[in-house]
Each structure stands twice: as structure tokens, then as C-alpha cells.
Amino acid sequence: MSNHPIPRADDRATADAAPFEDHGAAPPRAGGIAARAMGAARPASYLDNLNPEQRDAILTIDGPLLVLAGAGTGKTRVLTTRIAHILATGRAFPSQILAVTFTNRAAREMKERIGHLVGGAVEGMPWLGTFHSIGVKILRRHAELVGLRSDFSILDTDDQIRLMKQLIQAEGIDEKRWPARQFAGLVDSWKNRGLGPKDIGEGEARSFGNGLGRKLYADYQDRLKVLNATDFGDLLMETLRLFCENPDVLADYHRRFRFVLVDEYQDTNVVQYLWLRLLAQGSKNICCVGDDDQSIYGWRGAEVDNILRFEKDFPGAKVIRLERNYRSTAHILASASHLIAHNEARLGKTLFTENEDPEAEKVCVAAAWDSEEEARSIGDEIERLQRGGHSLNQIAILVRASFQMREFEDRFVTLGVPYRVVGGPRFYERLEIRDALAYFRIVAQPADDLAFERIVNTPRRGLGDASIQILHAYGRANRVPLTAAAGHLVETEELKGKARTALRDLMQSFARWREQLEHLPHTELAEIILEESGYTEMWQKDRSAEAPGRLENLKELIRSMQDFESLAGFLEHISLVMDRDQDASADAVSIMTLHSAKGLEFDTVFLPGWEEGLFPHQRALDENGRAGLEEERRLAYVGITRAKHRAKIWFASNRRIHGSWQSSIPSRFLDELPDAHVEVVEQQNRYGGYGLDTVGAYGASRFDNRGSFNSTYETPGWQRARANKAAGTTGFATPGGERPRIRQIEGELIARSVVGGDPRFTVGARVFHQKFGNGTVSSVDGNKLTVDFDRAGQKRVVDSFVTAL
């Protein structure tokens, strides 16, 4: 039985009850947390092997504390040891510590590590979790104070959008012009800032849906209450409202939480900040750990300002900097530090390491002709590492945007290199899982209209739009949920024959399952529901390629239910916590976005796609200017600092983005790396490939056509790049000094007009290649030739690598 966040009776004890009763524990067990807490006189072993700053951060228990922890400086260790220390010194019981993280992964890791430190399970830390899971926990206890019942359901983004779509349509607003998805984003950003319908500014309120933004938002909130539901944003917003409107409740939590600890403080948004500040007012013992240089979620509402302003917000705050890095080599560290130093808005830290391995590899920068070659070369290099005994688990490819992943996947499939994509769609976001959950929800929570709508005609029962509209009309007129409306309508003549029979059958099934809920184990019931509803059968009959996988996922879903004692407990867990279990056992290369790599580390890290427009991403620059650029730079910093021993940065001169070719120039970030710690790898002939020479040639010829480019950029990085080029220090800067805008051009056009192929190579020409021997040119694509080699078969090569015969 894992620890799930359903409130238990003992959790409902009031805060001023005796601490022991509070977390339902017996008096201190010998060797237990509390026992250690009582007699911790001798210096505790957990304080061994800490550096002075870490020790200071752990021992400074009273008052506000900000720990600025650079990448790889032992942030999690400080956080967990601090908790262990608070417990060991008897300053608080486990149930009196509030520890919040952003992700379930981080929460899980913290639980495990505290478990190691204090020996045994951390059953007694009920308030260690994500912002959201703690939010729900509080909200369920006081649901009635914010107009909900304690069994409220939590809508995911998909439900949220469907609900909004209905409201938008109900207002007669053109859903094409004002997409529900966009509105969901807007509402989300309001909730991130802690703004209710009444709080949003006039301008913003009018900015959506022909000026009806505020009304739609208010309608949406009303609807949620009617459905007894919340969305993710509400879990924090409503808790905040609860505290503000009910000082006695807040006082209760003030008494309860003697210590507040926050992980990744740089990622907090406004609500989270307000929420924390409110809770920390009680004890004033708030410890935030974070790194302003790793703030990469500004676009999601995170306020770097929170961390920059900490000392003002919490008067008397102490700030401790952790700058000693235990992860990376000096080269990697120097590269990352040098890069991030280009940012203006930062508190400033200087990371250092004592890892002065003379053998350490410099950070490597390499060029490829196009993204395909980039993937090919990285694939080859990984194979080489593998042959040298390098574990694939310790290799990661970190990309800026997920479309970049595909090329690597394709390549790895070809090579037979095992890989895993980290952070793809979550388990519970899959279609079949959501359908199944909708069935379970409708049984557990009859008023859940969104669940009802989702499965009312899945599998097909002949209950289409027309029928649903009738239900909706009735439901709205009589202010009852859809299932209630359905219950009435099967008794009347409003629905025609087939639909009516189908609906009646369905309603009878619901009734039967609800009745069985009382008697049967929930896993068994779940199977019965999927079976009797015809849902399993639907996929069994489906002959598409993904059907077997979906059936497998459904089985997995049932299996995972065994860990919960009730259907309700399971439902809450899955919407909030469940993520796909990665089989970490298999040895495989990890492919993920830079964002999802935060907090991880690998021996070898590949960083492909360092090109202007992709990284830094054009949109970040366009929409947020300098701030956007700085966030991108932080992302680059996060990427490099994931590497322990080897960091390999790549860029490709050509990339196919949406079917058309995009020519690109090296990222300005490359010019921000320190020469002394970086090695530019010349790809020379290694695979008959296209190395820097080619890039040079490409660049030169492109700038011969410079007239067609607009040049407006005059950034410092760019100027430096230009200077570097003049001094001959880097291979990347572009001659001419003007920055071209990235353009979209047809592939052929690029090749012909921009690069310019060698006129000697025409279709049918005989050529010789060092590696592949003699062959006949079968097609020409700029300076790239497709050649049918007599012995090596068909290859694509660059014309500079072959000679005409």
C-alpha cells in the first residue's frame, strides 16, 4: 500500500491536539524518528561530509532562509538533511513540517532520501508533497467553505477545455475565433496570478471572446461548483481563498506547520508565493531552496522575481550560497558559468569544483550539414561509447523542442540502440485510460457530467450529438446533472426509440455498478465495468496497430488499482500523481527536452540543435525580448550542467521544420562559451560526411547573396562573434558581420541559389569517393549529391568529397 493522499481520520485531528495524536503515531518507538529526536545529543552522523555552507544551511533552522544552490551543489541533500535535523533535534514532529515540491518525481525522491536518513519509512511526513497534492489535501478538509463537497473531482486540461467550449458556444461566440484552448490558457494564467473573475483588469477581461472574458471566467467557475469539480489551478487558488476568508482555518495551519520548506523556489508563481507567504507567517521558519539561473518556467507563470526579492519579502532573511559543485568537470562548469554570466538579471553565483581531472574532456562543439547528419553522428558516437563500456543509462540527448526527438528515434531504431523518451504523454493522458477513468468516475461521482459526456457514446451506442443536446437542454432547464437528466428522459417520449433504449441500458448499468461498489473489491468492479460496457470489446475488435497496446494499458490500469484501498482513493491519486513508470532497469539512452532534464544528471550529454531560431527559440525572442533570451540562456545552462564528464554540443546548418528547409546559423550561445574550455571538433572525412568545411563553404556562399537578407541584429553576442571571427578564434562566426534572418525556403532553392553546387557534377557523371570508390551521380541537390556507388550502393555525399572522373 503506497501512501496516497486521501485524508484519513487521524489527519482530521485539530492542529492543537497533542502532536502524537496528530500523526496517529504511538509514543516514540525505540530507534524511531521520535526516539532519535529526543536523545540526539551526540553529533549526528548525517552532518558528516558536508561543506561549511551546506552545514550552515542545515543548521540554520529558525527564521527565513534562502539557499541559493547552483547546479550540482547538493541542493536536495541540504533539503533532506535539514528535515532530518529538525526531526532529530526534536524541533518538530514529522506532521509539523510542510515540504513542497513541484513535481511528483521530486517529492518521491525527497521521501526516499529522508527515509534513508532517518531510517525507515516516512509515513509520518504527511505534508511532504507537490503544491497541488497538498492543496487538495487542505481543500478536501474544508471543501464546504469554498462551495464544494469533499469528494470533488479534479478536471484535467482536456475536461477543462471541453467545459469551456460548451460555455463559449452557449454565449454564441464564434469558437473558431476564440478557441477554448486559448481561453483555458488565459484562465490558467489568471489563476497562476491568483486572480478571480472579479480581480482581472478591465483590459484583460475584454481581451477574449468579444469582451466577454470575465463573464466566461465567472460562468466557468460557477459551472465547476455545480459539477463539484476543480481544475488544477483551483487547487491552489481556492486554498488561498479559503485561507483569506477563514482566518481561523489559517490560524490552525499556522499552529500546525512549525517549518516550511520549498524546493525549486525559482519556479514558484504568484499564487504559490502568496500561499507560502501566508502559511509561513505563523512560524516564520521558511526555507526556500532554488537557483535563479535555473528558472526556465517563466512562460508558465513562474516569477523569477520571487527568488530575487526574497530578502525583501521575508525581513531578516538569511541567504546562503552553495557554490561548490560536485557533479561536473572543470571544463563543463567553466563553460556553463561563462555562458550564464551573459545574463543580467541574476543574483550571481560563482560555481567552482575541485574536480580538476587533467584527463577531462573539454566541452565539444561540432557541426553537421543537416539534422539528419547530426543524428547520424551522435548515433555513431553513442555506439562508440557503448563499445567502450559506457552505460547507455548515463547518456542523454537533450533537445530544445520535441520535434527534434524524432530524428534520433529513427536513427536509434536503425542502429538498434535502445532508447527511452522521457516526458512524453503521461499514462493517464492516454485516450483509453481517460475513457476507462471516465467510467469509474461516473460510478463514483454521479454528477460528473464531463465523464458522462466522454463515455456516453463510447463505444458507439447510437447516442450522438442530437441526443446529448436533448439531455443538456433538460439538464440546464431543471438544473440537474446530465445523469439525472438522463434518468428522467428515459421515462419520457422526448428521445426516440433506439437512443432511448440505449440510454436506458446505460443508466441501468450505472445503477448496477454503483450498487456493486458497495460489495465488490474495486479492482474486480473495474474489470466488470470495462467488460459490461463493451469498452474492452471495442478495442478487441479494433484492428489498428495501437489497439493491442491500449488493451495492455487497460490491464496495467487495473493492476495499479490494487495499490489503493478504494475507487475514490485511486481516482484522486491518478489525476494528481500517477505518471508513467519508466523501466529504469533497462540500459537505454534517454531522449528528452531540456525542460524535463532539470534535476537530472548524466555522464555524457548531447545537446543538438544549437541554432539561432531554434535555440534560442525565435518565439521566445519575439514574445519576450531580452527576458526571453535570458530564459533561453538559462535553459542552455541547465543543459550543460546536466553533464558530469562529457558535454557535446551540435548544430546543423539545415533543418527541415515543417516540410520546408530552414537554413540556420549557429546559436549565439556558442559564441558565449569560453574558448579555453571548448574544443571545436572538425568532422573531417570521418564518415565521408560534411564537416565544418562544408559549413564554411555554405556560410560563405550564402553571404554572397547577402542582399536578400535583412540584417537588424546588433547584439553584443553577435558583435563578439564577429570579432572572434575576425581574430580567427572560432569557426562559427559568419563573415560579413550582418545577421541574416532565418528564412524558410524550399529545399531545392536553398541548395541551388544559396549554396551553389559544383557545375561539374551533373546527373550521370562518374565520380570517385575516398571511402566509397567509384560511382555514378543519380541526382544533384545543390552541393549534395546522391551517388550510386559501384560497390557501396546509394549514398548522399557532399560534392567536395568526391572528384570528377
For residue 106, the minimal CB distance to DNA (Å) is 8
349 is in an annotated binding site: no
Beta bridge partners of 593: 399
730 is in an annotated binding site: no
The Cα-based distances of 140 to 126, 128, 137, 154, 239 in angstroms read: 15, 17, 5, 11, 10
Strands 661-663 and 643-656: antiparallel
Q: Which is nearer to DNA, 231 or 449 (CB)?
A: 231
The Cα-based distances of 664 to 9, 579, 656, 670, 745 in angstroms read: 61, 37, 10, 14, 11
75 is in an annotated binding site: yes
141, 150 in Cβ contact below 8 A? yes
Per-residue DSSP letters for 375-412? HHHHHHHHHHHHHTT--GGGEEEEESSGGGHHHHHHHH
Secondary structure E strands in 639-727: 643-656, 661-663, 678-681
502 is in an annotated binding site: no
Give the H/E segment covering residue 516.
Answer: helix 497-517
What 3-state DSSP class applies to 651?
Answer: strand
Joined together, the cell numbers standing for residue 97 give 513540517
Q: Which is nearer to DNA, 400 or 722 (CB)?
A: 400
Q: Which is nearer to DNA, 96 or 268 (CB)?
A: 268
Alpha helices, DSSP H only, in 291-446? 304-308, 310-313, 330-340, 371-387, 405-415, 431-444
Closest CA to 216 of 259, 164, 268, 266: 164
For residue 459, whether the previous peptide bond is cis, meaning omega lies within 30 degrees of 0, is yes
Q: Active site includes 263? A: yes
For residue 740, whether the previous peptide bond is cis, meaning omega lies within 30 degrees of 0, is no
For residue 596, the minimal CB distance to DNA (Å) is 5
- Long-range contact pairs involving 502-508 (C-beta distance under 8 Å, separation at least 24): 502/461, 502/462, 502/463, 503/461, 503/463, 503/467, 505/461, 506/456, 506/461, 506/463, 507/483
φ and ψ at residue 686, rounded to 5 degrees: -55, -45
For residue 452, the minimal CB distance to DNA (Å) is 15
Handedness of CA 535, 540, 541, 547 (dihedral sign): positive
Please identify which of the residues 54, 230, 294, 353 carries the catalytic annotation. 294
Please identify which of the residues 263, 370, 612, 672 carries the catalytic annotation. 263
Beta bridge partners of 774: 768
Q: Which is nearer to DNA, 48 or 493 (CB)?
A: 493
Please identify which of the residues 22, 156, 159, 264 carries the catalytic annotation. 264
Residues 50, 53, 58, CA angle at the centre, nearest 5°? 70
714, 724 in Cβ contact below 8 A? no
| CA 443 – CA 529 distance, rounded (Å) | 9
Q: Which is nearer to DNA, 318 or 656 (CB)?
A: 656
Q: Which is nearer to DNA, 460 or 559 (CB)?
A: 460
Q: Active site includes 264? A: yes
Q: Which is nearer to DNA, 329 or 533 (CB)?
A: 533
Q: Which is nearer to DNA, 233 or 691 (CB)?
A: 233
For residue 158, the minimal CB distance to DNA (Å) is 9
For residue 121, the minimal CB distance to DNA (Å) is 21
Q: Active site includes 496? A: no
Q: Which is nearer to DNA, 232 or 408 (CB)?
A: 232
For residue 258, the minimal CB distance to DNA (Å) is 25
DSSP classification of residue 755: I
69, 78 in Cβ contact below 8 A? yes
Closest CA to 76 of 285, 292, 322, 275: 322
Q: Active site includes 76? A: yes
Give me the numbers of helices (H) and strands (E) for the chain, helices first please. 32, 22
Cα-only R_g, the chain: 30
For residue 747, the minimal CB distance to DNA (Å) is 9
Please identify which of the residues 76, 182, 281, 516 carries the catalytic annotation. 76
For residue 428, the minimal CB distance to DNA (Å) is 9
647 is in an annotated binding site: no
Joined together, the cell numbers standing for residue 687 give 564518415
Query: Binding residues for DNA, per CB under 7 A?
Result: 102-105, 130, 132-133, 156-157, 175-176, 232, 299-300, 400-403, 423, 426, 457, 460, 462-467, 499, 576-577, 579, 592-593, 595-596, 617, 619-620, 623, 628, 632, 658-660
Q: Active site includes 730? A: no
659 is in an annotated binding site: no
For residue 105, the minimal CB distance to DNA (Å) is 6
Joined together, the cell numbers standing for residue 128 give 511532504
Amino acid at 84: A
360 is in an annotated binding site: no
Q: How many CA atoms lie within 13 A of 358 on its CB side?
A: 0
For residue 130, the minimal CB distance to DNA (Å) is 5
353, 333 in Cβ contact below 8 A? yes
| CA 575 – CA 160 distance, rounded (Å) | 13
Per-residue DSSP letters for 45-112? GGGTT--HHHHHHHH--SS-EEEEE-TTS-HHHHHHHHHHHHHHTTS--GGGEEEEESSHHHHHHHHH
Q: Which is nearer to DNA, 231 or 374 (CB)?
A: 231
Q: Active site includes 294? A: yes
Q: Which is nearer to DNA, 441 or 769 (CB)?
A: 441
Please identify which of the residues 75, 258, 349, 430 carries the catalytic annotation. 75
For residue 277, the minimal CB distance to DNA (Å) is 20
Please identify which of the residues 430, 642, 702, 784 carries the catalytic annotation. 642
For residue 621, the minimal CB distance to DNA (Å) is 8
Q: Residue 703's CB: how many other CB atoms inside 10 A? A: 18
76 is in an annotated binding site: yes
| CA 528 – CA 176 distance, rounded (Å) | 40
| CA 233 – CA 533 distance, rounded (Å) | 33
Q: Which is nearer to DNA, 106 or 680 (CB)?
A: 106
What 3-state DSSP class applies to 792?
Answer: coil
Residues 607, 609, 614, CA angle at the centre, nearest 5°? 130
Binding residues: 69-76
Annotated binding-site positions for ATP: 69-76
Q: Give the active site residues.
A: 75-76, 263-264, 294, 642
